[in-house]
């Protein structure tokens, strides 16, 4: 049963209880008092109207609490599913990147990107993952950059540095930047 149906059922049951109570009070006011005086009947009607209003307020308060609880639960479930899917997707992307880094195409990619990002010879050093240091000689020869071993957590990619600037193009940093919060 969805939230709206539960709310409608809850609302209808309260309305039935209010109507039964109203009928009893009317019956009690008419029979017990045995007063035909219109003033007494008006007093009973006012009392009944106040009780009906009180019951409606209670109904609104209870229904708002139930809606708030259900909404909070739904938001929590949505956030958890979203986080789980995001984590799963990032794990898949990381796995694909690791496969790419270990492929024969990666060397060409790495040298091409380093060359393109340093086309104006701004940078003096390139920092590579320890796994990528096997490309040191090719990178030195084609780019003229000093090659330094970086952290193993790079996954792949590189960091270009000069005295004044640093350009981080590691796969790890790219993943962190594209992560949606």
Structure tokens at 69: 């609880």
Instruction: Count other C-beta atoms under 10 Å from residue 149's C-beta.
Output: 13
pLDDT band at 35 (very low <50, low <70, confident <90, very high): low
Domain edges within the chain: 3-99, 104-178
The verdict on pTM exceeding 0.85 is: no
Pick the CATH number of 104-178 from 3.90.550.10, 3.40.50.2300, 1.20.910.10, 3.30.2320.30: 3.30.2320.30
How deeply is 21 buried, as exposed, middle or buried, from its count of CB atoms within 10 A (0-12, 13-18, 19+)? Answer: middle
* Model pLDDT for residues 110-127, shown as the tens digit of each residue: 999 999 988 888 899 999
Highest mean pLDDT among 26-40, 54-68, 72-86, 125-139: 125-139
- Structure confidence at residue 179 (pLDDT): 66
- Structure confidence at residue 70 (pLDDT): 78
pLDDT band at 41 (very low <50, low <70, confident <90, very high): confident
Q: For the sheet with 157-161, list strands across it.
A: 146-149, 125-128, 157-161, 166-170
pLDDT band at 1 (very low <50, low <70, confident <90, very high): low
For the segment 15-23, the average pLDDT, to the nearest whole number, is 83
Instruction: Count other C-beta atoms under 10 Å from residue 30's C-beta.
Output: 14
10 pLDDT above the threshold of 90: no
Q: What percent of the chain has pLDDT over 90?
A: 23
Task: Give the pairing type, strands 146-149 and 157-161.
Answer: unpaired
Q: Which of 86, 103, 96 is nearest to 178 (CA)?
A: 86
Kindly report which listed range (1-10, 52-61, 153-162) carries the lowest average pLDDT score: 1-10
């Amino acid at each position: 049963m969805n939230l709206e149906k539960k709310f409608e059922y809850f609302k209808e049951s309260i309305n039935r209880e209010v109507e039964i109570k109203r009928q009893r009070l009317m019956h009690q006011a008419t029979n017990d008092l045995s007063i035909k005086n219109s003033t007494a009947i008006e007093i009973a009607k006012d009392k009944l109207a106040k009780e009906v209003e009180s019951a409606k307020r209670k109904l609104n308060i209870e229904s708002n609490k139930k809606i708030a609880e259900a909404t909070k639960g739904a938001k929590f479930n949505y956030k958890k599913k979203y986080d789980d899917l995001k984590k799963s997707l990032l794990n898949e992307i990381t796995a694909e990147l690791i496969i790419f880094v270990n492929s024969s195409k990666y060397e060409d990619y790495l040298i091409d990107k380093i060359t393109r990002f340093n086309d104006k010879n701004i940078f003096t050093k390139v920092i590579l993952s320890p796994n990528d240091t096997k490309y040191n000689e090719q990178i030195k020869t084609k780019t003229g950059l000093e090659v330094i071993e970086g952290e193993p957590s790079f996954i792949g990619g590189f960091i270009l540095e000069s005295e004044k600037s640093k350009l981080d193009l590691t796969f790890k940093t790219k993943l962190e930047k594209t992560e949606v919060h």
